[in-house]
């Protein structure tokens, strides 16, 4: 599976945004080479061997995942992944508080965050499932794992649980994306667009993109992410600076295209009846993927799931201003007897 290398956490979102704009000024002034890793956005695992990372073989290729672990490895394993598709786990770092009772493993999916950028052919729904299995094989080969996924990550872990029910102890979906094609066709309020459609198509259909192509695309998203996620907050609430190291712009478009290509019958929850363990769907009371949307589209797809609402929270503030309440809800669920 490869070796896990540990190092300090990359720069925080605010500091990095300042560094990016300073770097851009220096680039324009001719002082920096834009082809250098880290000139526009933080370097990925393959560009910075010092990042905490895990090497896994997925879709026939060995790739580096940006991974951090928290807690004692002998404790029950708890996997945490972010949404997007394309986001990193910076937003979810408050959940490291769960390491007092769990061995917490957080990572950025391939093509996203600080994990390796990969050719488009490697970004499929099957390969994402394979990636989760590879991480489990490394950290918990002989144990069940509990899973916590946010947004797109919630749908990923739902699908993994449905396909590997004997590998999962408990499943948590935090404001997951809509599970069915019919739901997504009927509601478009839950996904910010990274680029205008012509640019999206030009990027995601290009199989061979250079690291500089990815860096430029990710840099553009970093400048737009705060406004692009405004609909995830409560009405009248001013968006906070998004806690983000780097967004995988190309992977975001490729994976969303793959979901579309899966057809009108595709459903992330297909087969979840095979899982008899506890499930939790947690949502804020407002925003584009809040409890109203979850009850309208997703709740019926996960019968038996416990539903918890954090009043006054949105998709992002669940982990910022309302993090204590979110963590308390997760503790209550995860630490309860199965």
Phi, psi dihedrals of residue 199, rounded to the nearest 5°: -70, -40
pLDDT at 298: 98
The predicted structure's pLDDT at residue 35: 58
Q: Return all residues near 291 (Cβ < 8 A) that are at least 6 apart.
A: 283, 284, 285, 307, 309
pLDDT at 4: 47
Q: For residue 21, count other CB atoms closer than 10 A to its CB.
A: 11
CA-angle at 71, arms to 68 and 73, nearest 5°: 90
Strand pairing report for 53-58 and 77-81: unpaired
How do residues 186-245 score in pLDDT, each as one tens digit?
886 665 554 444 445 555 566 667 778 888 889 988 888 888 888 898 888 888 778 999
Residue 1 lies in a domain: no
CATH of the domain at 205: 3.40.50.1820
In-domain check, residue 2 = no
pLDDT one-digit tens code per residue, 249-266: 999 999 999 999 999 999
For residue 335, pLDDT beyond 70:
yes
4 located within any domain: no
C-beta of residue 168 within 8 angstroms of C-beta of residue 145: yes
pLDDT in tens, 299-311: 999 999 999 999 9
Picking from 154, 188, 144, the residue whose alpha carbon sits closest to that of residue 268 is 154
Residue at 188 is within a domain = yes
Domain that holds residue 78: 13-334
pLDDT in tens, 123-174: 999 999 999 999 999 999 999 999 999 999 999 999 999 999 999 999 999 9
Residue 7 lies in a domain: no
How many domains, in total, are found in the chain? 1
The two three-digit tokens of residue 315, written as one number: 């998709």
In 10 A of CB 312, how many CB atoms?
14
Supply the pTM of this predicted model. Answer: 0.88
Establish if 6 belongs to a structural domain: no
């Amino acid at each position: 599976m490869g070796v896990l290398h540990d190092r300090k956490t990359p720069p925080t979102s605010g500091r990095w945004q300042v560094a990016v704009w300073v770097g851009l000024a220096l680039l324009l002034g001719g002082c920096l080479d834009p082809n250098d890793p880290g000139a526009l956005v933080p370097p990925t695992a393959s560009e910075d061997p010092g990042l905490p990372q895990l090497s896994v073989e997925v879709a026939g290729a060995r790739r580096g995942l940006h991974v951090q672990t928290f807690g004692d490895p002998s404790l029950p394993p708890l996997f945490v992944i972010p949404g997007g598709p394309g986001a990193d786990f910076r937003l979810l770092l408050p959940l490291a508080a769960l390491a007092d009772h769990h061995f917490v493993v957080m990572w950025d999916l391939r093509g996203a965050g600080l994990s390796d950028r990969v050719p488009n052919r490697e970004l499929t729904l099957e390969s994402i499932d394979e990636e989760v299995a590879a991480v489990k094989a490394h950290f918990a080969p002989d144990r069940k794992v509990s899973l916590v996924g946010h947004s797109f990550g919630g749908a990923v872990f739902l699908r993994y649980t449905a396909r590997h029910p004997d590998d999962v102890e408990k499943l948590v979906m935090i404001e997951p994306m809509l599970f069915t094609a019919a739901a997504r066709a009927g509601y478009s309020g839950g996904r910010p667009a990274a680029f205008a459609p012509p640019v999206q198509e030009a990027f995601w259909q290009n199989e061979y993109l250079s690291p500089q192509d990815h860096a430029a695309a990710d840099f553009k998203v970093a400048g737009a992410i705060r406004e692009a996620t405004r609909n995830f907050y409560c009405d009248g609430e001013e968006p906070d600076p998004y806690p983000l190291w780097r967004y995988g712009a190309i992977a975001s478009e490729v994976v969303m295209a793959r979901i579309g290509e899966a057809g009108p019958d595709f459903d992330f929850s297909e087969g979840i009846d095979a899982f008899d363990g506890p499930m939790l769907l947690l949502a804020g009371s407002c925003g584009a993927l809040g409890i109203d949307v979850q009850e309208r589209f997703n709740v019926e797809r996960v019968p038996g799931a416990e539903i918890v609402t954090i009043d006054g929270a949105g998709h992002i503030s669940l982990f910022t201003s309302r993090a204590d309440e979110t963590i308390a809800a997760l503790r209550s669920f995860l630490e309860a007897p199965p």
